[in-house]
Structure formats: C-alpha cells, structure tokens
C-alpha cells in the first residue's frame, strides 16, 4: 500500500514538473497506480466508472450556469458600475483608490464567482488608474490578485459547490452562507494593509463627490448587486436549489448585460457560450480525473494512513490544524483549486472531524487556504493574470505581496481556530 501511494505521488509530481496538464497528470498517475494493484480490465473499468460517476451529480449542473453568467457579466459593463459605486463610497478615504480596488474585486468576484474574471475586469481599469495617481504598479498588481480571491468565499462560488460534492453531504446553501464572514474579513484585512501603505507612501486622497452623484452611482450599481440577493435569498428561503439559482443567474445577467446596460450584443453571445463550454469541459475533466484518484486513494487506505500519522504526531488540535494549513498552502501554490479540493478533502476531512471540527467549518478553511494559493507564486493563476494586466513580472510583485499575504494568513488562522466565524450565519438562518 505504501509502495502504491509513493508511485501515485511520484508519477503525479513528475508529470506536473514536465508541464503536463493537471487533469492528465492526475489521470495518468491514477492509471499507473491502479495497474500496480489491480488487473488491467477491472482497472480500466473502474477508471471509466469513476470518470463518469464523478460528474454524474445534479449539484454540478450549477457550475456551467455560474460559469456562463460570470462570463456574461465580465463583458456586460458590471465591473465599471461596481468600480464607480465603490469610488463614490470610499474613494475619499486614505488610500482611496486601493480601497476601491479591494471593494470592487470583492463585489465583482462575488457576483461572477471567478477570481480570474475579477482580476481581469477590475485590474484592467484600476491598475492604470492607481498608477496615474502615483501608486506603485507592482503593489497595484499584487493587491488586485489578492483581493480577487475573496470571490471564492463569497457566493455564488463554484469551488464551494465542488467541496460540497467532495465532502459527501455538506449543504451547498450552508456553505454559501458560511463564506460571507470569512470573505468580508479577508477584504477588510487587505483594506487595512492598503490604508497603512498609502499613509506610509503619502498617496493623495481623492476628492469627496457631491451626495447627489454618490446616490446616482449607487443606484446604477444596484441592478448588478441584486444578483447576490436573488441567488442567495432564493437558496436560503428554499425557493430554488443552487442549480436552479445558476440558471436564474444566467437569465438575469443576460437581461442586465444585453437589455439594460446594452454592453453585450447578440452576435457576441455565441463566442461567450463557446468559452463557457470550454471552461466547463476543463472543470468537469478535472472533477472526473480527481474522482478516480480519490477512489484509488481510498482503495489503498491512504487517507486513513495519513490521518493516523497526523494524530500520532500530536494530540494537540492546534498543532495538527497548523500542519494541515501549511500543507494546503503549499499545495495551493502548485495545484489548481478544483483537483486540490477533490483530492485533499477525503484525506484531511477525517482528521478534522476527529479533532471535533465540523465539515462546514473545514470546508471554509480549505477553500480559504487554496484561495491564498491562487495569488501565491510560482503557479498562482490569478497572479499571472494580474501581472499580464499590469505588464509586470511575478518577481517584481512578490515584495509588495508579502504584507497582503500576511494579512490573509492572519484571517486564515482566525477562521481555523474560531469556528463561529464560519458557523454563525448558517446557524442564524437554520442551515448549520
């Protein structure tokens, strides 16, 4: 069993080092490991079953809907209105433009459900604006990448849906509600860093807008912000499921972008639909391949072995959870969120439950961990997008990223060791 596990890990990381796409790395590593333990025909049959069974879930239908709605919103003029609203509300504070960047990324990430979309849409406008006002370009790029990850916690979030599937029973509605406080805490922590950085550098403060203009900007952003209340309100009240909420989000974003804002034309829709299909296919292949890997991990009893090893190292929950966090932070720096959640949830969730942590609490912790990985070198996807938008390099933004990273890590520790941060709102709405 130990030999099979070593083969799985070795093949997987060798393929990753050779720049083989992660879904194929997972699939090939799984096939090689299965052939060591099982004859060819049952191994091939099992892999085929797990690939198909891994994506045979009604809850996963929400993902293509939210992907499509996010793409429509990315081109629908929503980012511009959210930025203008944020500017009207907090632009006059110290470090105003940096605060606007964080708030805009948080709102857009929450609406679109995509950290990459938030980085591209908000960063393409805010980074040049901040540079014009004297902000360091590398700091602006680092800030955009960090702030965009809050959309992974604040619903609608595809990765929370994937965790619900991987955990085998956590309610999507409870996860959606649980993500709000941690997501807001991350945004606030980044804002504190921005305010201190702006004061230290002496950046200018934006002029306060007339009340009438502030009101106009808020009203203009209300239709975009309503999507959050429609989706989450409908799920919490039981009017519709998360999958149905995804379909409603598509219809609403279409009406908003095509009819109300008129930023998306009908001839643009086929291209958006094709991009949505490509993204969904990539995600589903990752889910199928990761499900096959999860099966072989379970077959070889690897999760139980790791659980026993961790619990044997220490009986102190603080130490064990710290080890899990550090492991996940390292994983997040090298692996995409979807396979990481599908592979490491069955490994670490039993350990967390043995320590008295609820699956809901653990879900928020693992997603926050891997969200930090999105903006962590060397392979953080959001980091690459932000660097491309700012026309800079990863090496140059590492230094300004450090205080932002520390702020996010502090929030991670708070979320890990204070269950109420994740469980208060679900309990309040009767979802825990």
In the predicted structure, residue 53 carries a pLDDT above the cut 70:
yes
Whether 116 and 382 have beta carbons less than 8 Å apart is answered as yes
pLDDT at 76: 75
Where is average pLDDT lowest: 31-35, 61-65, 236-240, 254-258? 236-240
Q: What pLDDT is recorded for position 2?
A: 56
What six digits make up the tokens of 4? 């099979």
Residue 107 pLDDT > 60, yes or no?
A: yes
Assign 432 a pLDDT band (cuts: 50, 70, 90): low
The whole-angstrom separation of Cα 360 and Cα 238 is 19
The pLDDT of 92-115, averaged and rounded, is 83
Asked if residue 398 has pLDDT above 70, the reply is yes
CB distance 276 to 64 below 8 Å = yes
At residue 394 the predicted structure's pLDDT band, cuts being 50, 70 and 90, is: confident
Could you give the CA distance from residue 56 to residue 287 in angstroms, rounded to a whole number? 10
The answer to whether residues 169 and 348 touch, using CB atoms and an 8 Å cutoff, is no
Q: Please determine, for residue 203, whether its predicted confidence score (pLDDT) is greater than 80.
A: no
Does 30 have pLDDT greater than 50? yes
Q: Are 4 and 36 in contact (CB under 8 A)?
A: yes
Q: Where are the domains of the chain?
A: 38-428
Alpha-carbon distance of 84 to 107, in angstroms, equals 12
pLDDT in the model for residue 1: 47
Using the structure block, give the residue that is written with the tokens 């989000």. Answer: 249
pLDDT at position 235: 82
Q: Which is nearest to 165 in space by CA: 294, 8, 311, 321?
A: 294
Range 76-95 average pLDDT: 82
Average pLDDT over residues 165-175: 87
What are the tens digits of pLDDT across the range 323-346? 999 999 988 888 888 888 988 898
The mean of the pLDDT values for the chain is 86
Nearest CA to 359 among 139, 174, 88, 125? Answer: 174
**pLDDT higher than 80, residue 157:** yes
* Helix/strand/coil for 379: coil
Q: Are 157 and 111 in contact (CB under 8 A)?
A: no
**Per-position DSSP letters for 333-348, written without gaps between them:** HHS-HHHHHHHHHHHH
Q: Which of 198, 372, 281, 319 is nearest to 23 (CA)?
A: 281
What's the pLDDT score for residue 120? Answer: 83
Q: Quick one: pLDDT at residue 147?
A: 92
Tell me the CA distances in angstroms from 341 to 138, 295, 356, one per residue in order: 30, 14, 20
Judged against a pLDDT cut of 90, whether residue 404 lies above it is answered with: yes
C-alpha dist (Å) from residue 65 to 98, 101, 357, 371: 32, 27, 32, 21
pLDDT in tens, 8-26: 888 888 888 888 888 888 8
pLDDT of 232 reads 81
> What is the residue whose two structure tokens read 């960090």?
146
pLDDT at 396 over 80: yes
């Amino acid at each position: 069993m130990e030999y099979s596990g070593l083969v799985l890990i070795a093949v997987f990381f060798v393929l990753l080092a050779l720049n083989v796409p992660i879904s194929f790395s997972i699939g090939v590593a799984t096939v090689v490991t299965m052939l060591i333990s099982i004859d060819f025909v049952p191994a091939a049959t099992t892999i085929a079953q797990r690939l198909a069974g891994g994506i045979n879930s009604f809850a996963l239908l929400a993902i293509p809907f939210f992907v499509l709605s996010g793409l429509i919103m990315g081109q629908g003029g929503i980012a511009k209105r959210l930025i203008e609203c944020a500017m009207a509300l907090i632009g006059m504070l110290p470090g105003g433009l940096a605060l606007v960047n964080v708030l805009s990324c948080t709102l857009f990430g929450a609406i679109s459900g995509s950290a990459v979309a938030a980085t591209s849409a908000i960063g393409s406008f805010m980074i040049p604006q901040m540079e014009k006002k004297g902000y360091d370009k590398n700091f602006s790029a680092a800030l955009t990448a960090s702030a965009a990850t809050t959309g992974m916690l604040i619903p609608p979030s595809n990765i929370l849906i994937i965790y619900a599937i991987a955990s085998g029973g956590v309610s999507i509605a409870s996860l959606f509600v649980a993500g709000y406080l941690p997501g807001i805490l991350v945004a606030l922590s980044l804002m504190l860093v921005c305010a201190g950085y702006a004061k230290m550098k002496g950046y200018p403060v934006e002029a306060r807008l007339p009340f009438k203009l502030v009101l106009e900007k808020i009203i203009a952003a209300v239709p975009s912000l309503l999507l959050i209340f429609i989706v989450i309100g409908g799920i919490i009240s039981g009017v519709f499921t998360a999958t149905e909420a995804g379909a409603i989000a598509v219809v609403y974003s279409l009406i908003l972008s095509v009819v109300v804002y008129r930023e998306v034309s009908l001839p643009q829709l086929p291209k958006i639909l094709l991009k949505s299909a490509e993204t969904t296919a990539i995600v589903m292949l990752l889910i199928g391949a990761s499900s096959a890997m999860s099966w072989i991990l379970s077959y070889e009893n690897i999760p139980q072995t790791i659980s026993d090893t961790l619990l044997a190292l220490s009986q102190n929950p603080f130490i064990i959870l710290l080890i899990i966090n550090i492991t996940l932070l390292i994983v997040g720096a090298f692996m995409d969120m979807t396979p990481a959640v599908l592979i490491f949830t069955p490994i670490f969730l039993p350990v967390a439950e043995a320590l008295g942590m609820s699956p809901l609490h653990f879900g928020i912790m693992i997603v926050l961990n891997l969200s930090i990985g999105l903006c962590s070198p060397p392979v953080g996807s959001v980091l690459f997008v932000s660097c491309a938008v700012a026309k800079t390099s990863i090496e140059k933004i590492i230094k300004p990223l450090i205080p932002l990273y520390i702020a996010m890590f502090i929030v991670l520790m708070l979320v890990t060791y204070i269950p109420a941060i994740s469980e208060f709102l679900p309990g309040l709405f009767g979802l825990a």
